[in-house]
Amino acid sequence: MPMQRMRELVDLLNKYAYAYYVLDDPIVADDEYDRLYDELVALETEFGMRYPDSPTLRVGGETLKAFAPYRHRERLYSLDKAKNIKEFEAFLERIRKALGYTPRLTLEQKFDGLTLSLTYKDGALVKGATRGDGEVGEDVTEQIKTIRTIPRRIDYTGIIEVQGEGIMRISEFDKYNKTAAVPLKNPRNGVAGAIRNLNPKVTAERNLDFFAYNVGYHDGKRFSSQEEIHEFLRQNGFLVSDVFYVVDDVAEAEKHLEEIEESRPTLDFLIDGAVFKVNDLGLREELGFTEKFPRWALAYKFQAMETTTILKDVVWQVSRTSKLNPLAILEPVDLMGVTVKRATLNNYSDIQRKDIKIGSRVLIRRSNDVIPEIMGVYQHGENSKEILPPIVCPACGSPVRKDNVFYYCTNDACAPKVISAIDHFASKACMDIEGLSEKTAEQLYNDLHIDSVDKLYTITAGQLKALEGFKDKKADNLISSINKSRKTTLSRFVFALGIPTIGKKAAKQLADRFRSIEALREATAEQIIEIPEFGGIMAENVVNFFKDEKNARLVDNLLSHIEIEAEEEPVTEGIFSGYTVVFTGVLTNYKRSEAQKLVTERGGKTADNINSSVNLVVAGEEAGSKLAKAQKLNIKIISEAEFIQMLNGN
């Protein structure tokens, strides 16, 4: 039976590797592949044998016959891996036994893209190749020339091979998928498909980047350490990671590993771990290689941010704007230490583009602590079935209407819509009615027939005390909180109205621009669109909201109960007067919201994205595509330290 299982694993893993490396169309998530691979390694170790076609004998994948083969001057090895500190300590112990002591190690991010090798001759870029099987790759020179972060010339005499990772930034991936007829599954799949496409124009369309991290074969100049290699790459114009540590012990390594893993959700590119290397290149020669791995390097793998599972069903939920949002019901699966049972699906058009079906194995990705999103399909099953668009509202049975790619319930009194609107209206960022949760909103809707937010101001303590679970104190507290909300600011009031596409920041911008609800109600789209970062759709949504008769009556009714107090006058003079500032990357001394507030308090404006009004960018650590765009547009860029100097009046 063990031998039969080994044969099954070899065949299965080779099938998965062919789809991943050759077809650029993976059919299983990385964590599932790694689990099966580890099982095969354990069996081969236990029984002391390997099948000749075992994937444990391979470094990478097959080369495509469509590309000319390229033989690397030095073999590109894959890395042994660790999944926890105990396995990292075992790696250190092996080195200690071989050398008699533990040397210094470098620690860098492990990029999740496509390994590439670039050959320069007398400073000129002459060849680009994929890793392939580690010895022979594919000649993709014309494709890699489209990558703007690959220097065409460097300061080097002789021949040198620079190794690194081709990546597709997450922002570029998201932008590409918005218009792609066949959306990409993930950025890694996006870069592999782009590089291994015979048409360089297709490569160029995906706006790839390249992070350099190693020097392979080289003649002439000699390097003594990984630190020296890193600095050489930086000085020669390569994009290198700012995350580069030299560590002396396990405690220091563990500290930096935690920092790198915590930064993952903030990055504009995928990393799936970190890489340790012996810093001293002379010691590397002494340690040497196994059949497959260098003995002086290790990949420390983080928990997967994506995995696959079966889509069991799709249900439609009604939002406060009447929009029906599809929610995926999944076969439970562990992802980043959390059991995931549900995932988002953007809209029905997205479902069709991604060819998502009930009963299929789908790829889900989880970023930060938000509900995962279905990125695509890995495999359809024999019983996979089409997902049908809603015909009637699942909550109230009313007909639905289709507007662009979305479906809406036509019943203004639909329970989930009203309850969600009340919950939003009462939230802390809006009217701040403490004690009015979504559960309480549902109870008020069902028992007191509160089907509109203005009716909250007609509730009496006696009515509340008659409800189940409402004792005197709870009822009095809620009435007190409702009464407290009768005085509010214009920005809170506008946000509380729930105007489509108008969030907290946009509501504040509207309040600062128009200063009164009367002026805002009379504003034209042309006036609104003058606000930085406001587009045509946002402006039209505001105008159409106040033009609607039902909304107009709602606002009138609310104003009969609510007094809108004057907003604090925006600061017009200060060190940031005349500046519209964008923050990018990770700030060390401030949360981004705090830094933005400091700018506005000193006369400036802030924006979330680079646009024509932006004239200053503050770049923190790991700054990504916004920094690159600012550089391209010649926008003034300062560091966090320089930002602090400005705050101090310098």
Q: Which amino acid is at 161?
A: E
Structure token pair of residue 425: 């209206």
Are 120 and 114 within 8 A, CB to CB?
Answer: no
Structure token pair of residue 437: 């949760």
Distance CA 345, CA 326 (A): 6
Residue 312 belongs to what H/E stretch?
Answer: strand 306-318
Are 110 and 275 within 8 A, CB to CB?
Answer: yes
Query: Interior CA angle at 638 toward 632 and 639, to 5°?
Result: 120
Are 216 and 196 within 8 A, CB to CB?
Answer: no
Cα four-point dihedral sign 137, 140, 146, 150: positive
- Count Cα atoms within 13 angstroms, Cβ side, for 222: 4
Distance CA 278, CA 537 (A): 54
First vs last C-alpha separation in the chain: 74
- Partners of 373 in the β-ladder: 344, 365
Residue 449 belongs to what H/E stretch?
Answer: none
Distance CA 111, CA 106 (A): 15
Ramachandran bin of 573, using left for φ above 0, alpha for ψ from -120 to 50, beta for the remaining angles:
beta
Structure token pair of residue 219: 């003649």
Annotated catalytic residue, options 81, 110, 357, 629: 110
Distance CA 464, CA 479 (A): 9
Q: What string of H, E and C letters represents the secondary structure of 203-239?
A: HHHCCCEEEEEEEEEECCCCCCEHHHHHHHHHHCCCE
Distance CA 228, CA 135 (A): 25
Are 430 and 411 within 8 A, CB to CB?
Answer: no
Sequence-ordered alpha helix ranges (H) in 52-181: 85-99, 141-144, 170-179
Distance CA 450, CA 423 (A): 12
Interacting residues of 396 by C-beta distance below 8 A, sequence separation 6+: 409, 411, 413, 414, 415
Are 621 and 589 within 8 A, CB to CB?
Answer: no
Coil, strand, or helix at residue 250? helix
DSSP track, 161-177:
EEEEEEE--HHHHHHHH
Give pairs for 629-632: CB < 8 Å, separation 24+. Answer: 630/582, 630/584
Q: Compute how many other C-beta atoms are within 10 angstroms of the C-beta atom of residue 477.
A: 15
- Partners of 377 in the β-ladder: 362
Residue 292 annotated to the active site: no
DSSP track, 496-554:
HTT-TT--HHHHHHHHHHH-SHHHHHT--HHHHTTSTT--HHHHHHHHHHHHSHHHHHH
Distance CA 375, CA 183 (A): 9
Are 129 and 117 within 8 A, CB to CB?
Answer: yes
Active site (catalytic) residues = 110
